[in-house]
């Protein structure tokens, strides 16, 4: 391909080829949009105008100026912003991306594609290939299996309900075509803003190329500057949105099971938690609460008084969350179906009839959430449930899953050659040519859940405006974080799935989905007591912690396994509640900056290959390194600590001598132990355990500080829900061997709830003087200081 003409506007440059175009824009600092159109129609070429394109993922962005330089026609053209420059080779149709320092970030070999007129619609194929040096790592890709570095893998982006899935199953439920390249310690990002079915070959077929292929007419790419991985994530989430701060209660322990049959079962679960002195904040109601799987109904024989049940639960500090599936039973007289038919809200088959399939309801129809009026109608349905006291919603089967098509045989399913060759699972879902207004399913399949989530989110905002929404979804696409938390679907009680959860959640977190979790201790299969303990220990650090299991499997509530597992699980849950001030602060940071709570070690050691490979450990925020035991019967585990000094902080208590990083260690981890390390300069805010959350204006707070040349700590507090007053506390410290000065500054209107705080400072020698403390003591290398709630400065002279 070659470009033989260029349109230069202040905010966009378009390179024109014989049948193709490449448009360059800069929507945000450090971000370029590169729209590759390989098979333009005649009209676009003669009018010199690109077809309009709707984005589901990207927030509206202002136009930013670009600079353009080309010495002579046919020479390399350079498009530049302050942070990035793009060199386009007109005679090859290729481009090269550099950062401000001139370092090469990425190189596109070129792009190509075909439009294939077909019955009933034109089919497309669009491809591009990026050169990748052998040492480049590839992170992200949303909810994908495999190691943290996805080099050598091949992915399909097509939301799929898979049961059971295995450690190599692809695709799963989410499609987020965002990736982060990491080479020589420099990170950059690449995102394809396409809702169409996509494939990515991450240097698997050809180790020198990352290839993307879409079944749509173009490849609308965004590239992001680093150089640190954090900056790439910040920029990507500035483009696609961030998870709004969730209510505190949703960060507490959650219990669920497909198999709770009636209100009595729900009461028994809550009772079991309280009798076992186990922390719990919410219980889920799975599909059996509905009457005949009719969404937005209650089976009144099983749940005679949902509002009463919600009240009883609330009295025990527990919220109820109901599952909401998209499939609407086709049954005349059922209000939802009647309204959907009357309003023309349903997906149609190719011949124009309402598409009928089978999910839990049978026959089932599918609301078309790609259209605004349908979303509006669906959001209204949340009202009655919210009024009955339902605190949150759980969107499931929203790929959408369809076990069987009933009148799908008169549709014409387009199976692309590539897909057929690869033998990939395309279903169970709707046929490619099902109709969503003027669009076909192939184009909008991946954003079906996004539309449904948006409707739920907007419904919650409308009918409970004083509260912050909590929504959990199985399927999703880029931008899903704006509305919903995500869980990774129907895993199994395999140790391999426990281990895999770490890289899956890390990949999701890098891809914008910061509020996520997996079913603990596995949805299918039989978990052992040991597995429950190890999984809950790890889950205490998941952004979302839910115990869930499938129908027909042994029950998995913590007391089902006897001792010592019950006590050990209680300990793990209590640890979770102690961590809440920090987790809540991280979720707040995520709502502002997009950074996930769970971060790969390589986030702050981008040039360290050992850190990259240590992907069954992770960072909780910036400073706490978590190395969970992920194998059966293991009582010690190998861990690599990146550069810096680290305080062993097993089970959230100092537990050994400070060690120098860039080192491999063997950690002792009997069944009651989670190996943790606190980074030098880190300040971790912990509270006391509780049976459920109340407020995030903590009445007990202890800062655990690992003294370092620079100390940094941060705490966000508010009522725990709603949109009222908040307070951000910052700790900043300097330590010069003999003298540590810590300063605390506060911003925000929320009045402080505590009269005193405790500081535990590690790494100091016995102090000679302590200024600014009410009391202090020094024992076993730990300086414990009691300070006034409103303290501002602490000085320790050793």
Q: How far is the CB of 523 from ligand GLC (least distance, A)?
A: 6
Which tokens in the block code for residue 95?
């481009």
Enumerate residues 123-142 that contact ligand GLC by CB under 6 A.
none
- How far is it, in rounded angstroms, from Cα 719 to Cα 607? 40
5 included as an active-site residue: no
Closest CA to 388 of 267, 487, 306: 306
Please say whether the beta carbons of 159 and 452 come within 8 A: no
Nearest CB to ligand GLC, comparing residues 162 and 413: 162
Of the pair 256, 693, the CB lying nearest ligand GLC is at 256
Nearer to ligand GLC, 124 or 258 (CB): 258
Strands 683-686, 519-520: pairing is: unpaired
Q: Residue 453 and residue 379: Cα distance in Å, rounded?
A: 9
Which residues, in sequence order, are CB contacts of 92 under 8 Å at separation 6+? 1, 2, 110
Burial readout 782-792 (b: 16 or more C-beta within 10 A, e: otherwise): ebebebeeebe
Distances 554 to 163, 306, 455, 565, 573 between C-alpha atoms, Å: 18, 26, 35, 16, 21
- The nearer residue to ligand GLC, 106 or 456, going by C-beta atoms, is 456
Is position 490 an interface residue for ligand GLC (rule: CB under 6 A)?
yes
Exactly one of 161, 325, 399, 615 is catalytic; name it.
399
Residue facing ligand GLC at closest CB distance: 258
Q: Between 488 and 687, whose beta carbon lies closer to ligand GLC?
A: 488
Contact by Cβ (8 Å): 346, 352 = no
Give me 198's structure tokens: 């996509």
CB of 771 to ligand GLC, least distance (A): 55
Q: How far is the CB of 288 from ligand GLC (least distance, A)?
A: 8
Among 476, 479, 489, 675, the residue binding ligand GLC under the rule CB under 6 A is 489
| The binder of ligand GLC chosen from 218, 286, 368, 615 (CB under 6 A) | 286
**Binding status of residue 679 toward ligand GLC by CB under 6 A:** no
DSSP string spanning 484-552? -EEE--S-BS-HHHHHHHHHHHHHHHHTT--SEE-EET-SBS---HHHHHHHHHHHTTSSS-EE---TT
Residue list 386-405, contact with ligand GLC (CB under 6 A): 396
Please say which residue, 221 or 527, places its beta carbon nearer to ligand GLC.
527
Regarding 474 and contact with ligand GLC (CB under 6 A), the answer is: yes
Total site size for ligand GLC, rule CB under 6 A = 10
Residues in 312-371 at the binding interface with ligand GLC, rule: CB under 6 A: 323
Q: Least distance from C-beta 358 to ligand GLC, angstroms? A: 14
Residue among 396, 426, 499, 557 flagged as catalytic = 396
> Least distance to ligand GLC from the beta carbon of 8, Å?
51
DSSP state of 291: B
Catalytic site includes residue 372: no
Whole-number Å distance between alpha carbons of 547 and 329: 29
Site string for ligand GLC, 177-206 (x = CB under 6 A): ------------------------------
Q: Which C-beta is closer to ligand GLC: that of 286 or that of 426?
A: 286
Binding of ligand GLC at residue 557 (CB under 6 A)?
Answer: no
Give Cα separations from 484 to 243, 324, 346, 603 (angstroms): 7, 13, 23, 24
Say whether residue 499 binds ligand GLC (CB under 6 A): no
Given the residues 286, 490, 680, 718, the one annotated as active site: 490
Assess whether 396 carries a catalytic annotation: yes
What does the radius of gyration of the chain's CA atoms come to, in whole angstroms? 27
- Residue 620 pairs in a beta bridge with 598, 624
Which positions are catalytic? 396, 399, 490
Positions touching ligand GLC (CB under 6 A) are 258, 286-287, 323, 396, 474, 489-490, 548, 550
């Amino acid at each position: 391909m070659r470009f033989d003409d260029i349109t230069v506007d202040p905010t966009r440059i378009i390179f024109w080829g014989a049948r193709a175009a490449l448009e360059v824009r800069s929507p945000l600092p450090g971000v370029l949009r590169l729209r590759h159109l390989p098979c333009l129609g005649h009209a676009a070429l003669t009018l010199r105008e690109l077809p309009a394109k709707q984005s589901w993922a990207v927030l509206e962005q202002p136009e930013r100026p670009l600079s353009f330089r080309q010495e002579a026609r046919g020479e390399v053209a350079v498009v530049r912003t302050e942070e990035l420059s793009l060199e386009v080779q007109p005679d090859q149709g290729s481009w090269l991306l550099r950062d401000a320092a001139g370092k090469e970030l990425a190189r596109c070999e070129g792009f190509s594609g075909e439009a294939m007129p077909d019955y009933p619609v034109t089919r497309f194929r669009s491809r591009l290939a990026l050169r990748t040096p052998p040492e480049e790592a590839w992170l992200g890709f949303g909810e994908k299996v495999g190691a943290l570095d996805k080099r050598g893998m091949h992915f399909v982006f097509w939301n799929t309900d898979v049961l059971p899935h295995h450690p190599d199953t692809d695709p799963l439920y989410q499609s987020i075509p965002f990736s982060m390249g990491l080479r020589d310690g420099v990170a950059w990002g690449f995102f394809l803003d396409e809702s169409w079915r996509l494939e990515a070959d991450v240097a698997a077929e050809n180790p020198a190329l990352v290839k993307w292929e879409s079944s749509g007419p173009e490849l609308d790419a965004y590239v992001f500057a680093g150089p640190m991985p954090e900056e790439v994530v910040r920029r990507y989430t500035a483009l696609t949105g961030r998870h709004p701060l969730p209510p505190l209660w949703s960060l507490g322990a959650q219990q669920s099971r497909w198999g709770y049959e009636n209100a009595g079962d729900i009461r028994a679960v809550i009772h079991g938690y309280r009798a076992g002195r186990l922390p719990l904040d919410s219980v889920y109601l799975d599909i059996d609460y509905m009457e005949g799987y009719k969404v937005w109904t209650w089976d009144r024989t099983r749940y005679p008084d949902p509002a009463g049940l919600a009240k009883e639960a609330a009295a025990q500090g527990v919220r109820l969350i109901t599952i909401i599936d998209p499939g609407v039973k086709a049954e005349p007289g059922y209000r939802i179906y009647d309204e959907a038919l009357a309003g023309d809200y349903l997906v149609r088959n190719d011949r124009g009839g309402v598409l009928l399939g089978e999910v839990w309801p049978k026959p089932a129809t599918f609301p078309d959430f790609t259209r605004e009026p349908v979303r509006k109608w669906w959001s209204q349905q949340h009202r009655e449930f919210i009024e009955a006291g339902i605190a949150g919603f759980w969107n499931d089967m929203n790929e959408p899953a369809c076990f069987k098509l009933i009148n799908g045989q008169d549709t014409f399913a387009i199976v692309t050659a590539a897909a057929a060759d690869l033998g990939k699972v395309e279903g169970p879902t709707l046929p490619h040519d099902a109709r969503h207004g003027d669009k076909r399913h192939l184009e909008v399949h991946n954003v079906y859940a996004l539309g449904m989530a948006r409707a739920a989110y907007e419904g919650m905002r409308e009918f409970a405006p004083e509260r912050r929404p909590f929504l959990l979804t199985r399927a999703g696409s880029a931008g899903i974080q704006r509305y919903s938390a995500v869980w990774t679907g129907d895993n199994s009680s395999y140790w391999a799935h426990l281990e895999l959860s770490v890289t899956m959640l890390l990949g999701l977190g890098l891809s914008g989905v910061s509020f996520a979790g997996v079913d603990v201790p596995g949805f299918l299969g039989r978990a052992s007591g040991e597995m429950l303990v190890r999984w809950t220990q790890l889950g205490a650090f998941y952004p979302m912690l839910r115990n869930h299991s499938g129908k027909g499997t042994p029950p998995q509530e913590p007391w089902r396994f006897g001792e010592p597992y019950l006590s050990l699980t209680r300990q793990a849950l209590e640890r979770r509640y102690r961590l809440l001030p920090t987790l809540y602060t991280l979720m707040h940071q995520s709502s502002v900056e997009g950074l996930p709570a769970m971060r790969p070690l390589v986030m702050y050691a981008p040039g360290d290959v050992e850190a990259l490979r240590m992907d069954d450990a992770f960072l909780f925020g910036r400073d706490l390194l978590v190395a969970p035991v992920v194998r059966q019967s293991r009582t010690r585990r190998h861990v690599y600590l990146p550069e810096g000094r680290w305080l062993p902080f097993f089970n959230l208590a100092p537990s050994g001598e400070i060690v120098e990083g860039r080192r491999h260690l063997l950690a002792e981890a009997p069944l009651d132990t989670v190996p943790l390390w606190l980074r030098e300069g880190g300040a971790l805010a912990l509270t006391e355990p509780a049976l459920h959350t109340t407020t995030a204006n903590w009445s007990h707070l202890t800062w655990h500080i690992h003294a370092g040349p620079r100390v940094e700590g941060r705490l966000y507090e508010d009522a725990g829900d709603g949109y009222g007053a908040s307070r951000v506390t910052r700790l900043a410290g300097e330590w010069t061997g003999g003298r540590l000065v810590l300063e605390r500054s506060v911003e925000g209107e929320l009045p402080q709830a505590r009269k005193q705080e405790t500081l535990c400072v590690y790494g100091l020698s016995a102090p000679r003087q302590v200024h600014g403390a009410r009391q202090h003591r020094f024992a076993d290398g730990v300086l414990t200081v009691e300070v006034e709630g409103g303290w501002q400065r602490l000085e320790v002279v050793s």
